[in-house]
A and B are shown apart, each in its own frame.
Chain A
Amino acid sequence: MSTNWALKIESLGKIHGIPDLRSLEDTGPEKGTAKSALTGSIVAAWDVSFEVAPGEALGVIGESGSGKSTVMRCIAGDQGSTTGAVRLRTVHDGHMNVLDLDPSSRRHLRVADLSVVYQDPAEGLRLNVTAGGNIAEALTAAGWRHFGRIRDRAAELLDRTEVPLSRMDDLVGTFSGGMRQRVQLAKALANEPPVILLDEPTTGLDASIAAGVLDLIRNLLEETGVAAVVVSHDFAVIEMLTTRCVVMNHGRIVESGLTDRLLEDPHHPYSQKLVGAARA
């Protein structure tokens, strides 16, 4: 597992405000805060490291403000990071730190190397474009220029994510929340990326709809062999989708391990509190 990774994160750190390393001394789980009283900076994430193998799903769990979304946004390139390295197997066989790429090349990774599914479908989709058109955007960005083949591929993807084909040519803005999320999944998978990041993919959906979307995600992850990072505050989601996970608290990883083990026997007091809350 140490060499066979698709995505590798090394000591990723993000400090909002002055990137003064003294901020690290009075922040973190032991201090119970991410905001440094000394420098006024916020240590949103620090020393975050993990790797994900092809076909594996890794969970990142923590409460609101624990830094899990910051980590995801730093990997995706939606946000700059202060320090660390993000490596993708498809970029120079992992020898390149993608954080060093210029913004243009960085954005280009999102075409076929790295996909993101956001909690809010409006972030990943254009609501004033049809479902098929949204997928066409991903395909044309990757150089598809054949109308018939674009149509076929879009239909195939929507079928796989269980969106009725009769709605393929309707504007995504007219879709329900659950269906939008399915379209977002279809778009994210359009160019068969080796890595996919899922940020709270079912938060905000009704319980019954969320269960259906979760089921779909689990099947897709199994079928495609994509390496996935699932960010969530919900242990049920992490339990269903991932085999390994890390627990974040006040910007740091406090515990990591197999999801089963972590749920049965959490070591860190914060993990125990989280699991206790989920099991209550």
Chain B
Amino acid sequence: MNTPLLQEILGNASRTDTNLDGSSSFKAQTLNFGLLDEYSKREIRRAILTAVAVPGYQVPFGSREMPVARGWGSGGLQISLAIVGPDDVVKVIDQGDDEGVNAVNLRRLIVSSTGIPESTTPEDSTLIQTRHRIPEDPLDARHTLVLQVPVPEPLRGVERDMRELARMHAEADYARMWVSLYEDKVRNGVITRTTGYPCLVNSRYVIATTPIPRWDIPRLHQSEFLSLFGAGREKRIYAVPPHTDVEPLTFEDVPFEVEKTPGAKCRNCASNNTFLVEVLATDVRQSYWVCSDSDWCRRHRELSDSSSQGLMT
């Protein structure tokens, strides 16, 4: 989607006004860098600053109407557009995949409204917007990770009253969260919570981890990069700054474990130390595993291809 087309869609394109005397004057209007007006950016940046200053605290913010529906990444998009600069390179993934429809559209929107380059490799990117995954490559201080959050409230499952929720967070009263883990373990023998595992940030606030899989949780702990969580529909922003403790809530005698399927490896790159997803084959009555991070998988496939070719010559 190029910029003029986008402007047309948004109704912001060059417009002709008719004056009282019948003559017409041409009023040129161009999109602001990053689509959002500067007041909106300031509002969102202020929320982000608060979020970084108080790790894990959900900061309410004036969520804007975006050209994507709420619940489709509008929170992450607002953060990305509020912090993006002309020197950034953007990567957008949906469940690890750069080619997901939602990822492609969000990336086009960011690129077309800023003119910044895009990339699929974390190495070349500075701003990574993601839905429910952290790229497999190690990220560093250059990177800012923006996560799209559907439900920012980790205690939603145990309490629905907003005032009570606010009190529980304010007093760090997470006993009922522990009860839900206790009950899960009693009923099922293991803690069955897989994605969006509740974590204690900086020994203070419990956060909902978007739903990223358990696999990605340890990578938030004492990370080199800044993670920003945006929930557009729920109007909340929270953050995990670099070098911050992120501890999954678990009992002392029940170790936290990441997903692991014995024997499973990626059909494409043969990796068995990445987060794998099961794909059902349509033609055969079986399934196979592939890397969730499609870009990582592609690069490693090329790497192994070239090295095997090297062996042959």
Using known A-B contacts A145-B252, A147-B251, A148-B253, determine if residue A132 contacts B170 with beta carbons closer than 8 Å.
no
Residues from 173 to 193 in B contacting A, C-beta threshold 8 Å: 173-176, 178-179, 182-183, 185-187
Please state if A136 and B179 are interface contacts (CB–CB under 8 Å).
Answer: yes
A16 at the interface (CB under 8 A from B): no
Using known A-B contacts A104-B171, A169-B186, determine if residue A137 contacts B176 with beta carbons closer than 8 Å.
yes
Partner of A146, one of B183, B186, B251: B251
Please state if B171 and A130 are interface contacts (CB–CB under 8 Å).
Answer: no
- Whole-angstrom distance between the Cβ of A186 and the nearest chain B Cβ: 15
Residues from 92 to 146 in A contacting B, C-beta threshold 8 Å: 104, 107-108, 126, 129-130, 132-134, 136-138, 140-141, 145-146
Residues from 133 to 182 in B contacting A, C-beta threshold 8 Å: 170-171, 173-176, 178-179, 182
**A146 CA to B174 CA, complexed, in Å:** 15
Chief secondary structure at chain A's binding surface: helix
B254 at the interface (CB under 8 A from A): yes
**A232 CA to B179 CA, complexed, in Å:** 32
Please indicate the chain A residues that have their CB under 8 angstroms from the CB of B252 in the complex: 145-147
Interface centre among B174, B176, B182 (most CB of A within 10 A): B182
Please indicate the chain A residues that have their CB under 8 angstroms from the CB of B178 in the complex: 136-137, 140, 145
- Whole-angstrom distance between the Cβ of B150 and the nearest chain A Cβ: 24
Please indicate the chain B residues that have their CB under 8 angstroms from the CB of A133 in the complex: 179, 182-183, 186
A150 at the interface (CB under 8 A from B): yes
Partner of A132, one of B171, B174, B182, B253: B182
Using known A-B contacts A145-B251, A147-B253, A147-B254, determine if residue A129 contacts B170 with beta carbons closer than 8 Å.
no
**A126 CA to B175 CA, complexed, in Å:** 13
Please indicate the chain A residues that have their CB under 8 angstroms from the CB of B175 in the complex: 137-138, 140-141
Chain A: CB-nearest residue to B175:
A141
Chain A: CB-nearest residue to B177:
A140
Partner of A141, one of B170, B173, B186: B173
Using known A-B contacts A107-B171, A132-B186, determine if residue A137 contacts B179 with beta carbons closer than 8 Å.
yes
Please indicate the chain B residues that have their CB under 8 angstroms from the CB of A130 in the complex: 183, 186
Number of A-B contacts (CB under 8 A): 51
Please indicate the chain A residues that have their CB under 8 angstroms from the CB of B174 in the complex: 140
Please indicate the chain B residues that have their CB under 8 angstroms from the CB of A136 in the complex: 178-179, 182
**A148 CA to B253 CA, complexed, in Å:** 7
Using known A-B contacts A104-B171, A141-B173, determine if residue A147 contacts B179 with beta carbons closer than 8 Å.
no
Q: Binary interface profile of A, 134-169, with partner B (CB < 8 Å = 1, else 0)?
A: 101110110001111111000000000000000001
Chain A: CB-nearest residue to B249:
A145
Residues from 19 to 50 in A contacting B, C-beta threshold 8 Å: none
Please indicate the chain A residues that have their CB under 8 angstroms from the CB of B186 in the complex: 130, 132-133, 151, 169
Please indicate the chain A residues that have their CB under 8 angstroms from the CB of B182 in the complex: 132-133, 136, 140, 147, 150
**A171 CA to B171 CA, complexed, in Å:** 27
Chain B: CB-nearest residue to A104:
B171
- Whole-angstrom distance between the Cβ of B286 and the nearest chain A Cβ: 37
**A84 CA to B32 CA, complexed, in Å:** 63
**A140 CA to B174 CA, complexed, in Å:** 8
Chain A: CB-nearest residue to B171:
A104
**A111 CA to B179 CA, complexed, in Å:** 15
Chain A: CB-nearest residue to B251:
A147
**A17 CA to B276 CA, complexed, in Å:** 65
Residues from 258 to 300 in B contacting A, C-beta threshold 8 Å: none
Please indicate the chain A residues that have their CB under 8 angstroms from the CB of B170 in the complex: 104
**A130 CA to B174 CA, complexed, in Å:** 18
Please state if B253 and A129 are interface contacts (CB–CB under 8 Å).
Answer: no
Please indicate the chain B residues that have their CB under 8 angstroms from the CB of A148 in the complex: 253
**A107 CA to B164 CA, complexed, in Å:** 13
Please state if A129 and B183 are interface contacts (CB–CB under 8 Å).
Answer: yes
**A253 CA to B179 CA, complexed, in Å:** 41
Please indicate the chain A residues that have their CB under 8 angstroms from the CB of B176 in the complex: 137
- Whole-angstrom distance between the Cβ of B96 and the nearest chain A Cβ: 32
**A104 CA to B252 CA, complexed, in Å:** 27
**A83 CA to B179 CA, complexed, in Å:** 37
Chain A: CB-nearest residue to B183:
A133
**A130 CA to B181 CA, complexed, in Å:** 12
Chain A: CB-nearest residue to B182:
A136
**A151 CA to B253 CA, complexed, in Å:** 12
**A130 CA to B179 CA, complexed, in Å:** 10
- Whole-angstrom distance between the Cβ of B247 and the nearest chain A Cβ: 11
Please state if B171 and A129 are interface contacts (CB–CB under 8 Å).
Answer: no
**A134 CA to B183 CA, complexed, in Å:** 10
**A108 CA to B187 CA, complexed, in Å:** 29
Pick 15 A–B contacts, CB within 8 A, sort by A.
A130-B186, A132-B186, A133-B182, A133-B183, A134-B179, A137-B175, A140-B175, A140-B178, A145-B178, A146-B251, A146-B253, A147-B253, A148-B253, A150-B182, A169-B186
Residues of B at the A interface (CB closer than 8 Å) are: 170-171, 173-176, 178-179, 182-183, 185-187, 251-254
| Pairs A-B, 5 closest by C-beta atoms | A140-B178, A147-B251, A141-B175, A146-B252, A136-B182
Apart from A136-B178, A149-B253, 11 more pairs, CB < 8 Å: A104-B170, A108-B171, A126-B179, A129-B183, A133-B179, A133-B182, A133-B183, A138-B175, A140-B178, A140-B179, A146-B252
